[in-house]
């Protein structure tokens, strides 16, 4: 497991609302190797999003450890370079056009130089939106928006992409094409992928499959 890019051990997460406590999971181990693809399925409310947030260090666990390969610390500054996150609800910035949205990932973590612009244009082309660069998110279809989000996630050449139900808001046909794109692009660029999905067909297309149920993460395959 020396080539592992992301390792989490004994994660425990409890939500507190008022005086009630809800333990989502108490002891989850997770790791993913460089360039590997892993899917996580589970019922609604089983804690998939919670786990993904912990892996992205967007949220902190009650206990347990998280390590990003090559990063001394997990946190805001490292996140932008190390992980690319794709959400169900796209989350593009409405004031920026497609190209600028992709560039935003670099803007936050570093500098915009001609090389960055070239990479953004190349990614836009790769996700099939070459002629949509100047469209605002409101001028793009759902599938196109998620393609922009995929390109944005890849902008900084992250080691791992965390995708939380990336096709949840899309119709079946669009979802298929976005999923083809995501899996294809990750394989091409040897970027590790953690895919949270409800769809067993998509899960099957990853190298390993997990199922999250009642606080335990069980390997299916």
Partner 1 sequence: MPWYLYLAFKQLFPSGRRVTFFTCASTIGVFLGVWMLIIIIGVMSGFGYKYSRMIIDTQGEIQVRGTFIDNQEQLRGIIAKVSGVAATTPSAEGIVMIEYQKRPNYPGIIGVDPESVEKVIPISKYLLQGSMDDLDDDAVILSAGLAYALGARIGSKVTVVSPLTLERLNQDTYMMPTELTVAGIYEFGHQQLDKSIAIVTLRRMQELYGLGDSVHGINVRLAPGADADQVARAINETLPAGSRMFARTWMQSGEAFLFALKIERFMVIIIVAFVIVVVAFLVTSMLLVAVARKTREIGLYGALGATPWQSAMCFCFQGVLVGTLGTFLGVTIGLLTLSNIDPIARLIARVTGNWDLLVEIYQFTKVPAHITAPDIAIICVFAVGMSTLAGLIAAFRAAKLKPVEAMRSE
Residues in contact with partner 1 by CB under 8 A are: 53, 56, 58-59, 76-81, 85, 87, 89, 91, 93-97, 100, 104-105, 107-109, 134, 136, 152
**Residue 14: partners with Cβ closer than 8 Å, 6 or more residues away:** 21, 22, 23, 24, 62
Q: How far is the CB of 41 from Mg ion (least distance, A)?
A: 11
Closest approach of Cβ 43 to ligand ATP, in Å? 7
Which listed range, 10-18, 41-49, 53-61, 129-137, lies at the site for Mg ion (CB under 5 A)? 41-49
With CA atoms as reference, report the closest residue to 25 among 219, 218, 216, 220.
216
Q: Which of 10, 14, 22, 76 binds ligand ATP (CB under 6 A)?
A: 22
Q: How far apart are the first and last CA of the chain?
A: 17
Looking up tokens 């390997």, which residue turns up? 219
Q: Tell me which DSSP letter residue 169 carries.
A: T
Least Å distance, CB 124 to ligand ATP, is 29
Site for Mg ion contains 199 (CB under 5 A): no
Q: For the packed helices 98-109 and 142-154, what is the interaxial angle rounded to 10 degrees?
A: 30
Q: Report d(CA 32, CA 47) in Å as an integer.
A: 18
Q: Which of 2, 17, 19, 138 binds ligand ATP (CB under 6 A)?
A: 17
Interaction of residue 89 with ligand ATP, rule CB under 6 A: no
Tell me how far apart the alpha carbons of residues 85 and 59 are, in angstroms, rounded to a whole number: 14
The entry of ligand ATP, Mg ion, partner 1, none that residue 93 binds, CB within 5 to 8 Å by partner kind: partner 1
Binding site residues, ligand ATP, CB under 6 A: 15, 17, 22, 24, 42, 44-50
């Amino acid at each position: 497991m020396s080539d592992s890019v992301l390792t989490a051990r004994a994660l425990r997460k409890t939500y507190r609302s008022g005086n009630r406590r809800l333990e989502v999971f108490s002891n989850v181990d997770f790791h993913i190797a460089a360039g590997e693809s892993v899917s996580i399925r589970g019922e609604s409310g089983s804690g998939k999003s919670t786990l993904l947030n912990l892996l992205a260090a967007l949220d902190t666990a009650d206990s347990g450890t998280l390590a990003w390969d090559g990063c001394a610390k997990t946190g805001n500054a490292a996140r932008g370079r190390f992980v690319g996150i794709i959400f169900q609800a796209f989350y593009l910035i409405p004031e920026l056009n497609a190209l600028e949205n992709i560039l935003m990932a670099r803007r936050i973590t570093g500098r915009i130089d001609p090389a960055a612009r070239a990479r953004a244009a190349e990614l836009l082309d790769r996700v099939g939106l070459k002629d949509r660069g100047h469209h605002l998110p409101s001028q793009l279809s759902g599938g196109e928006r998620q393609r922009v989000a995929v390109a944005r996630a890849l902008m900084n050449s992250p080691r791992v992409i965390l995708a939380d139900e990336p096709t949840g808001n899309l119709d079946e046909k669009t979802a298929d094409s976005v999923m083809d794109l995501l899996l294809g692009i990750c394989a091409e660029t040897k970027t590790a992928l953690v895919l949270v999905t409800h769809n067993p067909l998509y899960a099957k297309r990853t190298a390993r499959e997990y199922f999250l149920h009642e606080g335990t993460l069980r390997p299916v395959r």
